Amino acid sequence: MLGKLKRNAFISVGLGFILIWLSEATETQVNYTAKPRVVLPPNYVKEIRPPSKKGSPVIVDFSIFVVDINSINVEDMDFRVDMFIHQCWHEPRLEIPDDIFEEGDDYVTLLPEVFENFWQPDPYFLNSKIAGYGSPYVASTSMLRNKGERDSKNFHLNKDLKIATLTHKFTSVTLYKNKTVRYAARMHAIIACQMEFQLYPMDIQVCPIHIESFSSNNQKVKLRWSDSGVTLNPELKLLQYNLGQPLQLEESDGYMPEKVGNFSRLTVFFRFERQIGHHLIQTFAPSSLVVMLSWFSFWLGLDAIPGRVTLLVTCMLTLVTMFTGADIPPVAYVKALDLWMAGCMLSVFAALAEFVVVKVLDVQYQYQVNRIPKRISNMEKGQCATVASWEGGAVRSRKATQTPTTPGQTSLQGNGGPPKPARRQSLLSVAWTDTDTGVEKIMWREIDKVSRAVFPILFFVFVLLYWPILLMKSS
């Protein structure tokens, strides 16, 4: 009988411990699932926006901290930005006990899972191609996957980049005692930008980022820039651009026909000013030197034809190679760099054309020099035979004499006949004699002398017109 009582006592104690353990486990589970109820009232509905004055929308303060701007792609006309975004709004429906705040603090940071039970605004980037939350390493993988031509060679790279990400979401929610909710997130986005390259490489691109409420019109939600607005990382540096400051911020209401209504919109304008130093070193200075090098051909005579032709052709091919290999945006309209290219190539081509003209004139000169002396010799022989025949016939006749007229002409007179054209007269088109010095002037040599001054003057006039106009338009 005693043993039976002891056995029942042990069973009762064991059942008691089991019941206590089950009650503690049940209480723990209830506390875990009831965490959002600490600040949310029982009748809270997250699909309904916070109450406000009649007819006034909920004000959502917005701010951005730009961490990095990179990958400014002129071919796709977009750029990538990594940033922290912050949104603040007032939620009067919250019930906030004081015991959830640490001593001396007026705020508490909630878990992202708790924030899922809150009402949230729904802003989005209106002109973004790709946007997402998280690490910039993950952002780079998403962009790589959107480049079809890079899929094969970057597949393994994408998997490696994901290893660098952290295990938690890159978001945080802060709740203040005055019932203000502050949401912060690390984001990346590829923003489309309509770029213009008429002044390239001194172009200035103004790229906006439009932030708009997606489902709530301006009667329900109004986006507003906070006091901090948009701030830039002080260590932010761009490869080929200077970022103009201060940034221009705008608040407006945009009508969206797709959603049939007016929606609150925030806009920040980024001003990208291209740095000219790279193009001065890589394009403008070398091309100017090549053009100057082509002027040396005017000091080479026609006895150095191979060297002169080689010099000019090499200068032309150098300019073609230089401009075809330059990183120029593939657009259909004329750019400022195209005008510079045309001016340099036209100058070298004109020097090559001048050589062709000079060579043609020299050929004509040599032909005239070699042909006319033979004609004069034959004419003199014919006149001497005529005089001898007249003397044999007992007819008195004067011997043919030569009467010089001018340094460029001679007259053959026989029997008082009219003067004959001299050999210099037939050379007037390609050569002549200076009346003051009596020195023979050859056309092709004079053209070379004039070209030595005309070509540099014309090129410098082109430079003096090109740069002031370009600087004036870019400013």
Stretch 440-454: mean pLDDT: 87
Measure the CA–CA gap between 165 and 156, rounded to whole angstroms.
16
Sequence-distant (6+) residues with CB within 8 A of 122 are 213, 214, 215, 216
What was the pLDDT predicted at 37? 57
pLDDT recorded at residue 12: 59
> Within 13 A of 308's CA, how many CA atoms are on the CB side?
19
* All CATH 1.20.58.390 domain ranges in the chain, comma separated: 278-371+446-474
Confidence of residue 286 (pLDDT cuts 50, 70, 90): very high
- CA of 105: how far to CAs of 92, 94, 98, 135, 171, in Å? 20, 18, 10, 29, 21
- CA–CA gap between residue 318 and residue 337 (Å, rounded): 16
Q: What is the pLDDT of residue 353?
A: 94
User: Band of the pLDDT at 111, cuts 50, 70, 90?
Assistant: confident
Give the pairing type, strands 204-213 and 440-442: unpaired
The span from the CA of 160 to the CA of 176, in Å, is 39
Tell me which of 2.60.20.30, 1.20.120.1770, 2.70.170.10, 3.40.47.10 is the CATH number of domain 53-138+169-274.
2.70.170.10
Mean per-residue pLDDT, 332-349:
94
Start-end of CATH 2.70.170.10 domains in the chain: 53-138+169-274
Label residue 396 by pLDDT band (50, 70, 90): very low
Under DSSP, the state recorded for 35 is G
Structure tokens at 439: 């020195």
> Is 218 a residue whose pLDDT tops 60?
yes
Q: Is the pLDDT of residue 249 over 90?
A: yes
Residue 404 is predicted with a pLDDT of 44
Q: Is 59 exposed, middle or buried (0-12, 13-18, 19+ CB in 10 A)?
A: middle
Is the per-residue pLDDT at 159 higher than 50? no
List strand residue ranges (DSSP E) for 152-260, in order. Answer: 171-176, 180-192, 204-213, 221-232, 241-256
| Lowest mean per-residue pLDDT among 5-9, 220-224, 324-328 | 5-9
pLDDT at 276 over 60: yes
Q: 385-389, long-range: CB within 8 Å, 24+ apart, which pairs?
A: 386/414, 387/414
The pTM score is 0.69
> Which pLDDT does position 167 carry in this prediction?
40
Q: Look up the CATH architecture of domain 278-371+446-474.
A: Up-down Bundle (1.20)
What pLDDT, on the 0 to 100 scale, is given for residue 4? 53
